[in-house]
Amino acid sequence: MTFIPQEIIRAKRDGATLSPDDIAAFVGGIGTGTVTEAQVAAFAMAVFFKGMTMDERVALTRAMTASGKSLAWSDLSLPGPVLDKHSTGGVGDAVSLMLAPLVAAAGGFVPMISGRGLGHTGGTLDKLESIPGYDATPDHDRFRRTVRDVGCAIIGQTADLAPADKVIYGVRDVTATVESIPLITASILSKKLAAGLDALVMDVKTGSGAFMPDFERSAELARSIATVATGAGLPTIALVTPMDQPLAPAAGNALEVRVAIDHLTGGLSVSRLHGVTMALAAEMLVLGGLAPDLDAALGKLERVRDNGRAAEIFQRMVSALGGPSDLVEHPDKHLPRAPLVRPVPAPAAGTVLAIDTRAVGMAVVALGGGRTRSADPVDHAVGLTDLVALGDRLEAGQPLALVHGRDDAAIAAASAMLAEAVTLGEGGAAIGALVQARITG
User: What is the C-alpha separation between 327 and 262, in angstroms, rounded?
Assistant: 11
User: What is the C-alpha separation between 168 and 27, in angstroms, rounded?
Assistant: 9
Encode pLDDT of 296-342 as tens digits. 999 999 999 999 999 999 999 999 999 999 999 999 999 999 999 99
Q: Quote the pLDDT of residue 71.
A: 92
DSSP state of 18: P
Strands (E), 109-235: 110-114, 152-156, 199-206
Q: Quote the pLDDT of residue 377.
A: 83
pTM of the predicted model, to two decimals?
A: 0.93
User: What is the C-alpha separation between 9 and 7, in angstroms, rounded?
Assistant: 5
Which residue numbers in the chain have pLDDT < 70? 1, 116-119, 122, 372-375
Q: Quote the pLDDT of residue 432.
A: 85
DSSP state of 75: G
Q: Quote the pLDDT of residue 304.
A: 97
Question: CB count, 10 Å around CB of 49?
Answer: 11
CA distances from 389 to 260, 271, 359, 401, 413 (A): 18, 11, 15, 10, 21
Residue 175 phi, psi dihedral angles, 5° rounding: -125, 15
Q: Quote the pLDDT of residue 160.
A: 84
Q: Quote the pLDDT of residue 373.
A: 66
The candidate with the shortest Cα–Cα distance to 198, out of 123, 136, 128, 287, is 287
Please list the active-site residues. Answer: 84-87, 124, 172, 187, 191-192
User: What is the C-alpha separation between 202 and 188, in angstroms, rounded?
Assistant: 10
Tell me the pairing of strands 437-440 and 399-405. Answer: unpaired
CA distances from 300 to 149, 172, 238, 273, 307 (A): 21, 42, 21, 18, 11
Q: Quote the pLDDT of residue 412.
A: 97
User: What is the C-alpha separation between 299 and 311, in angstroms, rounded?
Assistant: 17
Region of 252 on the Ramachandran plot (φ > 0 left; ψ -120 to 50 alpha; else beta): left
Which domains are delineated in the chain? 5-51 (1.20.970.10), 74-160+169-330 (3.40.1030.10), 337-425 (3.90.1170.30)
Q: Which residues contact 402 (CB under 8 A, 6 or more apart)?
A: 341, 342, 343, 344, 384, 385, 386
CA distances from 76 to 81, 94, 104, 152, 180 (A): 12, 29, 16, 14, 38
DSSP state of 160: T
**CA torsion, points 257, 263, 266, 268, in degrees to nearest 10?**
100
Q: Quote the pLDDT of residue 216.
A: 96
Region of 397 on the Ramachandran plot (φ > 0 left; ψ -120 to 50 alpha; else beta): left
Instruction: Indicate the burial class of 20 (C-beta count within 10 angstroms; 0-12, 13-18, 19 or more).
Output: middle
